[in-house]
Amino acid sequence: DADVTQTPRNRITKTGKRIMLECSQTKGHDRMYWYRQDPGLGLRLIYYSFDVKDINKGEISDGYSVSRQAQAKFSLSLESAIPNQTALYFCATSRPTGTPIGEFFGPGTRLTVL
């Protein structure tokens, strides 16, 4: 079984629609992240959460919101999707302290906004 899962894996939607991307993990990590990836731009952090009661904006949070429903679940919402939010979205997790071990990534959600 995958340690970090994302649903849906692919989604096509129209401008103005509300979209929710979901992420679940079985790694027992406290920290969870949402990134988007665009060609030539690399991965950019949208939001991150250290635990259920801690939510922080990343570098490109405008137009997005998140919900940390439980330690294992972190959802990303686009309240009113627009075409430039077409991208590959990754959820990631990491352990909280000590030597950074990097982040473990989910399989990604390919979102297309028409």
Contacts with another protein by CB under 8 A lie at 40-45, 50, 56, 88, 90, 99-108, 110
Q: CB-wise, 38 or 79, nearer to another protein?
A: 38
Instruction: Provide, rounded to whole angstroms, the least separation between the CB of residue 93 and another protein.
Output: 12
Structure tokens at 60: 């490109």
Instruction: Provide, rounded to whole angstroms, the least separation between the CB of residue 78 and another protein.
Output: 21
**Residue 28: CB atoms within 10 Å:** 10
Q: CB-wise, 43 or 72, nearer to another protein?
A: 43
Q: CB-wise, 3 or 17, nearer to another protein?
A: 3
Q: CB-wise, 17 or 104, nearer to another protein?
A: 104
Identify which of 113, 111, 106, 36 has the alpha carbon closest to the alpha carbon of residue 73.
Answer: 106
Tell me the β-bridge partners of 38.
Answer: 42
Instruction: Kindly write down the DSSP assignment for every residue of 44-75, as one continuous string.
Output: EEEEEEEETTEEEE-TT-TT-EEEEEETTEEE
Instruction: Provide, rounded to whole angstroms, the least separation between the CB of residue 59 and another protein.
Output: 9
